[in-house]
Structure 1
Amino acid sequence: MKRPKISVIIPAFNEENAVGLVVKAIPSEWVDHVIVVNNASTDDTRRSAEKEGAIVIDQPAKGYGNACLKGIEYVNNMSEKPDIIVFLDADYSDYPEELPLLVKPIIEDNVDMVIGSRALGNRDNGSMTFPQIFGNWLATRLLKLFYNYTFTDLGPFRAIKYEQLIAINMVDKTYGWTVEMQVKAAKHKLVCTEVPVNYRNRIGTSKVSGTVKGAVSAGYKILYTIFKYL
């Protein structure tokens, strides 16, 4: 079977010490383009990513969703579109080497979207804060209750068919990005599955879960998004 075209989008805000490691660890034989979205960074994120061969584009408007949308915009303007988009964080908490695990259900079983579940995999002690763990637990149960879709995580390491990503029309610009994708996947009746992924302590401090304000804002946005699309 011919390997599908795969593009990886990595939103990155001040990740100069981690993003190069992430790009380097992506199995190049599986991927056609690695796109790092430099999201208003004030450090050497751009240089670190470019050094490892990534395509780096700038998104001056802060926000995780803003960065992902910018990456999608870049892909939309490519002359040859990918078959699969993989999203991956720039903090080196995920294991990029596990990318084949995420795309194989799409390639072999015609699944539309695959979530890398940290809840099903192995996590290093302290790699997820209590608000993160509880928030994921609550959000996934609400998704089951209101949308009848079973997930165990809102993990950022995920793969989705390009055509389905465009069809669900992502719009969230900040913390609600991951749950919006899962809510819209449910509403569009996409075929979804999860695979266990491992998770380690990130390099540096989280801009979301590392602060009380960030954790509260993210929690509110996740719950708001779940109820918004009912």
Structure 2
Amino acid sequence: MLIDVIIPAFNEANAVGKVIAEIPAFVRNIIVVNNNSNDDTRKVSLNAGAIVLDEPQKGYGKACLKGIAYLEGLKQSPDVVVFLDADYSDYPEEMVNILEPIFQDNADMVIGSRAKGSREYGAMTLPQVFGNWLATKLMFKLFKADFSDLGPFRAIRWNKLKALNMQDEDYGWTIEMQIKAVKNGLSYTEVPVNYRKRIGVSKVSGTIKGVFGAGYKILWTIWKYR
């Protein structure tokens, strides 16, 4: 299988190089989407061997869509796309565990669940933990979706990703993918992943504005696709 990785990155110069260095060698393309950073994210990513795309409009989903658009232009499409954060909170070497259900033809999409794995103390804030719990409970109630986390470390078959017609340009990206996967009949599963304190301050959980903005968008996305 051809595996490509998309890494949205906003001001992650201190972390993104470490993430790239620990991605397994079987990955074909590592694509860092520089999301209007004003630090050395672009330079560090290039020096680490990644393909770097610039997306001047801020937004997690916007950066992911930029990466997808790049893959659409390749002569040979990937079989699977992995999404991974640039802050070094995930363990890139665990990618093989996330991909295993797809390799075994048991799933179209796999979510790395921080709720089922081991979390370093302080790696997730109380609003993050509560928000994930609430969102997954609402998804189960409204869509019968069996998830424990909205974890950003995930893998999905390329043809299935394309069929989802992803639209969200910011905080609703992860939950939009999960809801649409269920509504479109994709087979999915979760695998436990470990989680550590990120390098630097989170743009979401590290600010009051980010916490409320993400929470509102996640709830709005659930309501939108109900």
TM-score scaled by structure 2? Answer: 0.99
Aligned partner of 2:16 in structure 1 is: 19
Structure 2: stretches of 5+ with no match in the other structure: none
Aligned-residue Cα RMSD (Å) equals 0.5
- Asked if residue 50 in structure 1 is aligned to residue 40 in structure 2, the reply is no
- Asked if residue 216 in structure 1 is aligned to residue 209 in structure 2, the reply is no
- Asked if residue 199 in structure 1 is aligned to residue 191 in structure 2, the reply is no
Aligned partner of 2:87 in structure 1 is: 91
Aligned partner of 1:140 in structure 2 is: 136
Q: Offset at 1:151?
A: 0.3
Q: Deviations over 1:143-168 (max 9, x none)?
A: 11010010000000000000000000
Q: Deviations over 1:43-79 (max 9, x none)?
A: 0001111111000010000000000000000000011
In structure 1, how many angstroms separate the alpha carbons of the residues matched to 2:101 and 2:115?
18
How do residues 60-79 of structure 1 correspond to structure 2 at under 5 angstroms? 60-79=56-75
Query: SS of the counterpart of 2:104?
Result: helix
Structure 1 runs of 4+ with >2 Å offset: none
Query: SS of the counterpart of 2:95?
Result: helix
Aligned partner of 1:8 in structure 2 is: 5
Q: Offset at 1:110?
A: 3.6
Q: Offset at 1:35?
A: 0.2
Query: SS of the counterpart of 1:66?
Result: helix
In structure 2, how many angstroms separate the alpha carbons of the residues matched to 1:174 and 1:182?
15
In structure 2, how many angstroms separate the alpha carbons of the residues matched to 1:54 and 1:213?
31
TM-score scaled by structure 1? Answer: 0.97
Q: Offset at 1:107?
A: 1.0
In structure 1, how many angstroms separate the alpha carbons of the residues matched to 2:192 and 2:42?
30
Q: Deviations over 1:77-125 (max 9, x none)?
A: 0110000000000000000000000111011034100000000000000
Amino acid at match of 2:54: D
Structure 1: stretches of 5+ with no match in the other structure: none
Q: 1:106 aligns with which of 102, 109, 116?
A: 102
Amino acid at match of 2:8: P
Aligned partner of 2:186 in structure 1 is: 190
In structure 2, how many angstroms separate the alpha carbons of the residues matched to 1:51 and 1:149?
41
In structure 1, how many angstroms separate the alpha carbons of the residues matched to 2:204 and 2:92?
21
